[in-house]
Amino acid sequence: MTAKALRCFVGIVEREFLRFLRQRSRFFASLVRPLVWLVIFGTGLRTMVDLSGTPPYGPGVAYEDYIVPGLVGLVLLFNGMQIALSMVFDREMGSMKVLLVSPQPLWYLLTCRLVAGVIVALPQVYAFLACAWLWGVRPPLSGYLYALPAVILAGLMLGALGLLLSSLVEQLENFAGVMNFVIFPVFFGSTALYPLSRLSDANAVLAEVARLNPFSHAVELVRFALYGRLDITALVATVVMTVVAMALAVWRYDSGRILRRSLAA
Partner 1 sequence: MSALEIRDVSHAYRKPALRGVSFSIEPGDFVLLLGLNGAGKTTLFSLIAGLLGLQQGSIRVLGHEVGRSAALAGCGFVFQQSALDLDLTVAQSLRYHAALHGLSRSDARKRIEQELERFGLAARMHDLVRTLSGGQRRRVEIARALLHRPCLLLLDEATVGLDVPSRRAIVQRVRAQCAEEGATALWATHLPDEVEPGDRTIVLHEGQVRDDRRDIAAASLPDYFAGLAS
Q: Does 8 bind partner 1 (CB under 8 A)?
A: yes
Q: Does 100 bind partner 1 (CB under 8 A)?
A: yes
Q: Does 244 bind partner 1 (CB under 8 A)?
A: no
From candidates 93, 172, 176, 204, binder to partner 1 by CB under 8 A: 93
From candidates 40, 44, 97, 240, binder to partner 1 by CB under 8 A: 97
Q: Does 101 bind partner 1 (CB under 8 A)?
A: yes
From candidates 43, 95, 171, 174, binder to partner 1 by CB under 8 A: 95
Nearer to partner 1 by Cβ, of 154 and 249: the residue is 249
Nearest to 242 by CA among 127, 149, 170, 178: 149
The span of 65-73, 99-107, 132-140, 196-204 binding partner 1 (CB under 8 A) equals 99-107
d(CA 163, CA 159): 6
Rounded to the nearest 10°, the torsion over CA 232, 115, 159, 25 is 120
From candidates 19, 46, 138, 229, binder to partner 1 by CB under 8 A: 19
Nearest to 228 by CA among 151, 139, 162, 161: 139
The span of 34-42, 95-103, 192-200, 230-238 binding partner 1 (CB under 8 A) equals 95-103
Size of the site for partner 1 (CB under 8 A): 34
- φ/ψ of 57, rounded to 5, equals -85, 160
From candidates 46, 138, 229, 260, binder to partner 1 by CB under 8 A: 260
Q: Does 256 bind partner 1 (CB under 8 A)?
A: yes
Nearer to partner 1 by Cβ, of 74 and 87: the residue is 87
Chain contacts with partner 1 (rule: CB under 8 A): 2-5, 7-8, 10-12, 14-15, 18-19, 22-23, 93-105, 255-256, 259-260, 263-264
